[in-house]
Amino acid sequence: MEHELFWEQAYRQRVMLEKDLECMQAEESSLREKLTLALKENSRLQKEIVEVVEKLSESEKLVLKLQNDLEFVLKDKLEPQNTELLAKEEQFKEVLKEYELKCRDLQDRNDELQAAVEGLQAQLPQNWRGQPHVQPNGPLLPIHGRAGTIPFLGDSTPVSIEMEIMMEQVKEHYQDLKIQMETKVTYYEREIEMMKKDFAKKRKEIEKAFKLEVSVLEDQKANLETLRMKSQEIIQGLQDQLQSATHGPELKRVEMEQCYTQALSGLAQRLAQEKDQLEEKLHQRHQHELQQFRSSTMSFQDLCLGFLAKNQNLKLNYANCSE
């Protein structure tokens, strides 16, 4: 009886041990599957880490490229030795010099006409000024000058009072013309001086704007560098946590994987947004400054052409008056 009880107890223990062995084998199989999945996930996360590092490197290269492009644009626009800007300045100086020479020439001609009129006025006798007296039998002697041919009688006596009135009118006309010339010359000189000041002011504003843009880009570059360092620290910490999580409880590993995935996703989105914003901002500022610079240059050329046209009209009016 005892022998049967012993065998029955042994059989029960054997059944229990077999069940425990099956449970342990099932648990071992489950753990192996989980370990395989964890290794695959670890491999995938490592690949994502490599991709993020590559994106960070590409972003840094892009920032350097944008910095170089900006420096090239600044050098092209603000370099004192820039050939295009020097050519514009030289052309402006030549136009201004030519205009000053023409003004001086017109002033000299006006002075000569004034002297000729005063000389003709001085040739009139005192007893004939203001008195109508004519000697019809005397021969006419022409006197040539810049104002035309003026007929005189023998011994330099005037033909009539109309001649004296005409000379007074000519004198007044040329005096008015002289005043108009001086007024217009002064006006044009002031316009040119204001135009030069406006051009210099716009140039300084462009230089200031570009310097500010360089400062902003340098700050953004420093921020991106700081972000890159922090990202590397986060990635390293996540790698360490992932390695420790593979040997820890399953729940902790899942939480760490989720945290790691969210951190990588947020970092990638932030880097993409920073990159897009930086490219768009630089492109817009570059296009705006180029358009502003071209507009100021075209306005300057239009003003110069307008001044030349006004000067040509003034010369034509002067020639018509002289005739």
Q: Which residue has the higher pLDDT, 116 or 206?
A: 206
Given a cut of 80, is residue 159 above it in pLDDT?
no
**What pLDDT, on the 0 to 100 scale, is given for residue 322?**
57
At residue 284, φ and ψ (nearest 5 deg) are -65, -45
Q: Where are the domains of the chain?
A: 39-123+175-322
Task: Give the number of other CB atoms < 10 A from CB of residue 236.
Answer: 11
**What pLDDT, on the 0 to 100 scale, is given for residue 149?**
41
Q: What percent of the chain has pLDDT above 70? A: 59
pLDDT digits (tens, 9 = 90+) for 85-133: 566 667 767 767 776 777 677 777 777 777 776 776 666 555 444 444 3
Give the mean pLDDT of the chain. Answer: 70
**What pLDDT, on the 0 to 100 scale, is given for residue 158?**
45
Instruction: Quickly tell me which residue has 């104002």 as its tokens.
Output: 147
**What pLDDT, on the 0 to 100 scale, is given for residue 82?**
53
Highest mean pLDDT among 188-202, 247-261, 285-299: 188-202
Residue 20 Cα distances to 11, 15, 23, 27, 31, angstroms: 14, 9, 5, 10, 16
Helix (H) or strand (E) holding 26: helix 2-78
What does the buried/exposed string (b/e) look like for 3-36 if buried means 16 or more CB atoms within 10 Å of the residue's CB?
eeeeeeeeeeeeeeeeeeeeeeeeeeeeeeeeee
The band of 296, judged by pLDDT with boundaries at 50, 70 and 90, is low
Instruction: Quickly tell me which residue has 């020097």 as its tokens.
Output: 86
Q: What is the mean pLDDT of residues 10-39?
A: 84
Write out the two tokens for 62.
Answer: 């892009």
Given a cut of 80, is residue 249 above it in pLDDT?
no
Given a cut of 70, is residue 8 above it in pLDDT?
yes
**What pLDDT, on the 0 to 100 scale, is given for residue 254?**
64
Q: Cα separation of 60 and 275, whole Å?
A: 10
Given a cut of 80, is residue 31 above it in pLDDT?
yes
The band of 145, judged by pLDDT with boundaries at 50, 70 and 90, is very low
How do beta strands 141-145 and 148-152 pair?
antiparallel
Write out the two tokens for 290.
Answer: 């180029």
The band of 188, judged by pLDDT with boundaries at 50, 70 and 90, is confident
The band of 23, judged by pLDDT with boundaries at 50, 70 and 90, is confident
The band of 58, judged by pLDDT with boundaries at 50, 70 and 90, is confident
Q: What is the mean pLDDT of residues 171-175?
A: 76
User: Would you say 322 and 146 are in contact if contact means Cβ atoms under 8 Å apart?
Assistant: yes
Of the chain, the end-to-end C-alpha distance in Å amounts to 159
**What pLDDT, on the 0 to 100 scale, is given for residue 246?**
57
Under DSSP, is residue 77 helix (H, G, I), strand (E, B) or coil?
helix
**What pLDDT, on the 0 to 100 scale, is given for residue 137?**
37
Q: Which residue has the higher pLDDT, 178 or 322?
A: 178
Strand partners, 141: 152
Cα 146 to chain centroid, rounded: 54
- Residue in 128, 130, 129, 156 with CA at minimum distance from that of residue 142: 156
